[in-house]
Structure 1
Amino acid sequence: IYTRVSSTGQEGNSSLTTQEEACRRWSHERDLPVVSVAREVWSGTDRHRPELDALLNDLVPGDVVLVYALDRLSRSQVDTAILIDRIEAAGASLALVTEDFEKSATGVFLRNAKAFAAELEREKIAERTARGKRARVESGKPLVGKKPPYGYRWRDDRDEHGKPVKLRLELDAATAPVVRRIVDMALAGQSLRRIGKALEADAIPSPDGNSRWNVTTIRRILLSPTVSGTVIAWREIHERKPNGAKGYRERPARDDERMLLPGIAPAIATPEEQAAVRVQLDINAARAIRNNPHPEATLLRGGFARCGHCGRAMKVNNAGSGRPGSPPRYYCDGPDCARPTISANLIDSPVWESIATVLQDPSIIEREVDRHRADGGLDRDLAAIERQLVTVAEKQTRTARAIAAVADDDAAAPLLAELPKLAERKKALRREREDLTRRVADREVERVRVRSLAAWCQHVSANLPTLTYADRRNALEAFGVQVRVWRPDATDENGAPRDRWSGTMQPIGGDAIVFSSTRRMTGASSSPAAFSPSRNRRRR
């Protein structure tokens, strides 16, 4: 006997039991002994199911596989034919309590017709389900899964009849602090594995209740839009595989397929923090030692050296040009990119010389800050933010008027989705304006930061000749070093030749300090300018 339901909810309403009882009565009426009963909670769209496969593997000639109805065996016409063929190949036969299919041409036709009807009903169920989900989302209600997102719980909302409904999320007192801790550790540069180990050491169970934390689970939590207060319906789309292939596939939804649901969940992290986490995860992946068998052979690996054409982090070829003893090379393999390459010998040492110059003479940083203020850089930045705020406000007004003028709800949906994005953009600009206003008003704070950084530089410069590879990498991090590499024949937007590479350091914010293959850093003993042309250096 084989019995099946699709969900645990059906399992709880005695459906499996009633199927088995009907099958036992059928067997008793025909004096057939029952030798085994397989009970399964599994979708009828899957051909391979644990209990069904075990039953079919144990068949011997003369056995009868008894099922309550054909759709309990499968809802797929093709799968039904394959399963019946598998039963008959073992010398057994299929019997149904509710139908009597003969082993004749008519019986074969009826079996296939019945299977087709079951598959058609499944398609109708899927269509009705999808239509119901879309209607729920369009009414402003979130799609509900088996469990709320980690860090949240469903609020105790009630409908007009007093029945509990899942409409809004609220922070879960037990798990929301864990999510905040994960975000803070990621912002501090901790790897996903190190975050998982820390949670395991504190005996914090994973969302599945396990003692071990999977890096995929941690990444999903960090990048979930819900964590930043944005609930999105249909982030992924499930659709049939193309070219007639069996089954379904999952793909990221397009912008026009996603639907934003504002006000559903409180934020645990800000959108800016989540964006910073995403950047940090990319940096961690690029700088992971496991991705480079010789990590100390190149100083700028892992995101410090980037392609000037496409912006991707440059990779390292430790074999260099392929000749024995040739130095490693940085290269970009991005699609639709000019794909520049450069020998590590031509870039690592000059970049470090510039960093060492600042370490030995940190007054360069202070001169750069004074120059930035003398140029009115902060004031210009603040004015630019004000202009952007005006632009966003005008877009909000135009969008609201457009929504009011549209009578079709479907046509208005993209406009409605645009309003939360504009509101988030305005919030971000206001936060940036507050930060710039504070910096303009409190310039002494930044001078203290400069003096603090200068003291750190003085401490490090005392041990400059003995700095380890890790120490030098830490200095690159502290100075915010970024180096862009171009092809030798690259030109700028005005047609002028570009430097082979150009670098920036931005240790305290504001304008970046620039250096390049043709411009080197100079110390206090040089001219007041922070840069001077490098003599006798060919572009290579």
Structure 2
Amino acid sequence: MESGSNTFGRAEFNRMIEDAKKGIIDQVVTKSISRFGRNAEDVLTAVHSLSSHGVHVYFEEQSIDSQSPESELYISIFSGLAQAENLNLSQNIKWGIRKKIEDGSSPIYDRPCYGYQIDETSTFITVPEEATVVRRIFAMYLCGMSVLKIKAALEADRIMSPTGKSNWSKRTIDIILSNKKYCGFSVVKGEKGTYERENHHEPIITLDLFEKVQTTKAERTNVEIGEDGKRHRKSTKYSSQKTSQK
């Protein structure tokens, strides 16, 4: 049988239950309680469901047969232990991943973006042609061009997008303008915060230029929070959709 913390999320397990209801099987033999299901409540529910259709379960590792009077007590104990062990393992894995992110050793930092490629030593290498496009995008934006106009300029010059298409999406340009990797940082956003590594690789633009663009983006945004606490679109000369004036 497959293992998993969510017993009833497994197609094969559900099929077994259905076969039991149809009388196709009369006994289930499984390696251990932990493989039958790591959630104590689900294990007992499944055992009861099978028992109600005349099917008993035998757990080889614990030598427990669901037909025995004391089986429910033992199943509860071993299921609880398996669940606790699984939770502890999960927490240890998460701690290890988070630790590697914090100390900068996580391979997550080695994900390249447009303008870079990775060599055999996992070092970021600048792609000259793409780096030129990145610098141009930042420069155009800071000179007052909207994302829509930058998109039109790139397409007019037949510059291929990061995906190799002739059309650029506004989203792609906005992501480039917001990506701190271009000034030498590597950034990982997690559930408990954002982790950054400075001087991780050769920058394409300066940190000063990046910060100026972020300030400009905040000033140009066409979304504001109203008195009602909701987000509203406002009319600006950079908006692709302007609010009609009454």
Larger radius of gyration: 1
Task: Provide closer, same or farther for how the CA distance between residues 67 and 186 of structure 1 changes in structure 2, counting only shifts above 3 A.
Answer: farther
SS in 2 for 1:61: coil
SS in 2 for 1:124: helix
Using the alignment, how far apart are the partners of 2:111 and 2:125 within structure 1? Answer: 10
1:190 maps to a residue whose letter is V
For residue 71 of structure 1, the aligned residue among 34, 37, 48 is: 34
Using the alignment, how far apart are the partners of 1:175 and 1:86 within structure 2? Answer: 64
Task: Provide closer, same or farther for how the CA distance between residues 268 and 174 of structure 1 changes in structure 2, counting only shifts above 3 A.
Answer: closer
Give 1:181-192 correspondences, 5 Å limit. 187=141, 188-190=145-147
CA shift, 1:228, in A, is 4.2
Q: Does 1:129 align with 2:93?
A: yes
Task: Provide closer, same or farther for how the CA distance between residues 81 and 232 of structure 1 changes in structure 2, counting only shifts above 3 A.
Answer: farther
What residue number does 2:199 align with?
Answer: 263
What residue number does 1:141 align with?
Answer: 104
Q: Does 1:230 align with 2:125?
A: no
2:106 maps to a residue whose letter is L
Task: Provide closer, same or farther for how the CA distance between residues 87 and 334 of structure 1 changes in structure 2, counting only shifts above 3 A.
Answer: same
What residue number does 1:45 align with?
Answer: 5
Using the alignment, how far apart are the partners of 1:77 and 1:214 within structure 2? Answer: 49
* Contact kept? 1:101, 1:108, Cα under 8 Å: no
Task: Provide closer, same or farther for how the CA distance between residues 62 and 56 of structure 1 changes in structure 2, counting only shifts above 3 A.
Answer: closer
Q: Does 1:101 align with 2:64?
A: yes
Listed one character per residue, the Cα deviations across residues 505-524 of structure 1 (whole Å, up to 9, x for unaligned) are: xxxxxxxxxxxxxxxxxxxx
CA shift, 1:214, in A, is 9.4
Task: Provide closer, same or farther for how the CA distance between residues 276 and 91 of structure 1 changes in structure 2, counting only shifts above 3 A.
Answer: farther
SS in 2 for 1:334: coil
Using the alignment, how far apart are the partners of 2:6 and 2:204 within structure 1? Answer: 39
Q: Does 1:170 align with 2:124?
A: yes
Using the alignment, how far apart are the partners of 2:213 and 2:160 within structure 1? Answer: 24
Query: How many residues end up aligned between the 2 structures?
Result: 214
What residue number does 2:237 align with?
Answer: 477
CA shift, 1:217, in A, is 8.0
SS in 1 for 2:82: helix
SS in 1 for 2:65: coil
Relative contact order, higher structure (CA 8 A, sep 6+): 2
How much identity, in percent, do the aligned residues show? 12
SS in 2 for 1:112: helix
Task: Provide closer, same or farther for how the CA distance between residues 202 and 217 of structure 1 changes in structure 2, counting only shifts above 3 A.
Answer: closer
SS in 1 for 2:228: coil
Task: Provide closer, same or farther for how the CA distance between residues 100 and 172 of structure 1 changes in structure 2, counting only shifts above 3 A.
Answer: farther
> Any gaps of 5 or more consecutive residues in structure 1?
5-43, 158-167, 207-212, 238-252, 287-311, 315-331, 336-472, 479-540
Q: Does 1:55 align with 2:55?
A: no
Task: Provide closer, same or farther for how the CA distance between residues 189 and 215 of structure 1 changes in structure 2, counting only shifts above 3 A.
Answer: closer
CA shift, 1:182, in A, is 11
Listed one character per residue, the Cα deviations across residues 267-315 of structure 1 (whole Å, up to 9, x for unaligned) are: 45553265157538832xx4xxxxxxxxxxxxxxxxxxxxxxxxx466x
CA shift, 1:170, in A, is 0.6
* TM score, norm. by length of structure 1: 0.31
2:218 maps to a residue whose letter is V
1:189 maps to a residue whose letter is S
CA shift, 1:172, in A, is 6.7
Using the alignment, how far apart are the partners of 1:45 and 1:225 within structure 2? Answer: 38
Give 1:98-497 correspondences, 5 Å limit. 98-103=61-66, 104-137=68-101, 140-145=103-108, 148-151=111-114, 152-157=116-121, 169-171=123-125, 173=127, 180=134, 187=141, 188-190=145-147, 205=163, 223-233=178-188, 235-237=189-191, 253=192, 258-268=194-204, 270-272=209-211, 275=214, 278-279=217-218, 282-283=221-222, 286=223, 312=224, 332-334=227-229, 477=237
CA shift, 1:145, in A, is 4.0
SS in 1 for 2:88: helix
* Contact kept? 1:47, 1:74, Cα under 8 Å: yes
Using the alignment, how far apart are the partners of 1:150 and 1:78 within structure 2? Answer: 45
CA shift, 1:71, in A, is 2.0
* TM score, norm. by length of structure 2: 0.58
Task: Provide closer, same or farther for how the CA distance between residues 171 and 46 of structure 1 changes in structure 2, counting only shifts above 3 A.
Answer: farther
Listed one character per residue, the Cα deviations across residues 486-521 of structure 1 (whole Å, up to 9, x for unaligned) are: xxxxxxxxxxxxxxxxxxxxxxxxxxxxxxxxxxxx
Task: Provide closer, same or farther for how the CA distance between residues 227 and 77 of structure 1 changes in structure 2, counting only shifts above 3 A.
Answer: farther
Using the alignment, how far apart are the partners of 2:228 and 2:177 within structure 1? Answer: 28
